[in-house]
Structure 1
Amino acid sequence: MQVLSVLIPAYNEAATVETILTKVAEATLFPEISLELIIVNDASSDGTEQRVAHWISANPQVRARLVSHPKNRGKGAAIRTGIETATGDFIIVQDADLEYDPNEFTLLLNPILQGHADVVYGSRFMGGKPHRVLFFWHTIGNKFLTFISNMFSNLNLTDMETCYKMFRAEKLKSVSLQENRFGFEPEVTAKIARIPGIRIYEVGISYYGRTYAEGKKINWKDGFRAIWCILKYGAFKG
């Protein structure tokens, strides 16, 4: 039995974290795959930690672990903690909101299990899956960042900024990551692309985006940071 480690960074997600944990735990997977949930509470102040602890206690049949940061360190730092804690054969990040559907894990796992891929990106901009219509400038920004990232990584991704990136665990654990906030996406893309012989695939996924009123946290400052990260880790190979 092979294990998929699902890393769930959570910062003030009390309203949705129990729902997403249930969705992940109930996701349809291949028979040869079992789940490991690693929830990293990044010093939430809204009761997220208590809700996660209660969910784990109420679901002893699920292999789940809660790790907490005493101080808020950012999504990238929470993902690094999750990577260090993960014991599975494959690793994916699942945001604690409801923007991505865990039932699509199999879409990303399939190219890996078939022996074609080491890394699979779930693209919100390809395929016929549902995609909530929201922010025009966010879409332009995402495509612009993907374009610049592709220039330096020599990849032809359509969605570098996607949360859903599935990795063979040994490939991801071989990369030294530094970014503490949303710079994780361009950093990991640049560094993964440099691994000799790495096989990267992309599949279309659904996207149920949320508004800022619904809790979305990324902003224009993170966009500028992403550009810097693309240059730092792509052009200058930091």
Structure 2
Amino acid sequence: MKKLSIIIPAFNEEKTIHLILNKIKETVLPKNITKEIIIVDDCSTDKTAQIIETFCNDNPELTVIFLKHTKNSGKGKALQTGIKKATGNYTVIQDADLEYNPKEYKILLKPILDGYADVVYGSRFMGGNPHRVLFFWHTIGNKFLTFLSNLFTNLNLTDMETCYKLFDTKLLQSIHLKENRFGFEPEVTAKIARIKQIRIYEVGISYYGRTYEEGKKINWKDGFYAIYCILKYGMLRLK
């Protein structure tokens, strides 16, 4: 029996955290794969933590690890905390909102289970799955960041900034991650690209994006910081 560790960083997600946890609970994985849910509350100031605790108490049959930060430190730091605790054979990143559908874990797992991949990215820009129509400049920004990342990593990804990244857990835990906030995506991409004989695949996924009124947090400042991280970790690769 193999295990999938699902890491959920959460900060002030009281409107959606119970919904995504129930979706994960209901998601059926491939045969002989079990779930380990690791939730890291990044010092939320709303009812996120209480809702998570209620979910844990109501679902004792599930393997749930609930961790709390005493200081708000950012998504990247929450992921670092969760990654250290992962005991599954594979690890997937899951945002606490409803932009990504846990039912698609099967799509992400397939290249790894078939023996082709060590890392799988879920691309919002390929395949025929549903995509909510939202912000033109966000799309341009994401594609530019992916292009810039590819320039330094020599990968041909279509969506470096995607949340849905699935890793061989031992591989992920062997990487020393430093970025505490939204620099996680370019940092982890640059660092896995440096690993010899790494097998990276992309699969098309759906995307149910949300507006800022609905709780979206990332903004233009995070985009500029992502450029900084791409250059920072890309330059290290070229040395």
What TM-score, normalized to structure 2? 0.98
Partner of 1:49: 49
Residues 107-153 of structure 1: CA distance to partner in whole angstroms, max 9, x if unpaired? 01000001000000000000000000000000000000000000000
What's the RMSD between the two structures over aligned residues? 0.8
Partner of 1:180: 180
Partner of 1:33: 33
**Aligned residue identity for 2:84:** E
**Aligned residue identity for 1:63:** T
Partner of 1:236: 236
Q: How many angstroms apart in 2 are the aligned matches of 1:207 and 1:119?
A: 20
Partner of 1:122: 122
Q: How many angstroms apart in 2 are the aligned matches of 1:143 and 1:129?
A: 18
Q: Taking every aligned residue pair, what percent have the same amino acid on both sides?
A: 65
**Aligned residue identity for 1:118:** D
1:32 Cα deviation from its structure 2 partner? 1.0
Q: How many angstroms apart in 1 are the aligned matches of 2:28 and 2:148?
A: 35
Moved more, 67-76 or 25-34: 25-34
Instruction: Give the match's secondary structure for 1:201.
Output: strand
**Aligned residue identity for 2:46:** D
Q: Which runs of 5+ in 2 are unaligned?
A: none
Instruction: Give the match's secondary structure for 1:196.
Output: coil
1:234 Cα deviation from its structure 2 partner? 1.0
1:57 Cα deviation from its structure 2 partner? 0.2
**Aligned residue identity for 1:95:** D
Q: How many angstroms apart in 2 are the aligned matches of 1:193 and 1:113?
A: 21
Matched, 1:158 2:158: yes
Instruction: Give the match's secondary structure for 1:14.
Output: coil
Residues 161-217 of structure 1: CA distance to partner in whole angstroms, max 9, x if unpaired? 000000000110110000011100000000001011000000000000000000000
**Aligned residue identity for 2:175:** V
Matched, 1:69 2:31: no
Partner of 1:84: 84
Instruction: Give the match's secondary structure for 2:27.
Output: coil
Instruction: Give the match's secondary structure for 2:232.
Output: helix
**Aligned residue identity for 1:214:** E
**Aligned residue identity for 1:139:** T
Instruction: Give the match's secondary structure for 1:236.
Output: helix
Partner of 2:194: 194
1:236 Cα deviation from its structure 2 partner? 2.8
Instruction: Give the match's secondary structure for 2:152.
Output: helix
Instruction: Give the match's secondary structure for 1:156.
Output: coil
Moved more, 18-27 or 212-221: 18-27
Q: How many angstroms apart in 1 are the aligned matches of 2:18 and 2:62?
A: 13
Matched, 1:204 2:204: yes
Residues 94-115 of structure 1: CA distance to partner in whole angstroms, max 9, x if unpaired? 0000000000001010000010
**Aligned residue identity for 2:205:** I
Q: How many angstroms apart in 2 are the aligned matches of 1:97 and 1:55?
A: 16
**Aligned residue identity for 1:189:** T
Partner of 2:100: 100
Instruction: Give the match's secondary structure for 2:133.
Output: coil
Q: How many angstroms apart in 2 are the aligned matches of 1:173 and 1:26?
A: 27
Partner of 2:167: 167
Partner of 2:112: 112
Q: How many angstroms apart in 1 are the aligned matches of 2:150 and 2:21?
A: 33
Q: How many angstroms apart in 2 are the aligned matches of 1:120 and 1:171?
A: 12
Q: How many angstroms apart in 1 are the aligned matches of 2:32 and 2:151?
A: 38
Aligned residues: 238
Q: Which runs of 5+ in 1 are unaligned?
A: none
Q: How many angstroms apart in 1 are the aligned matches of 2:120 and 2:201?
A: 5
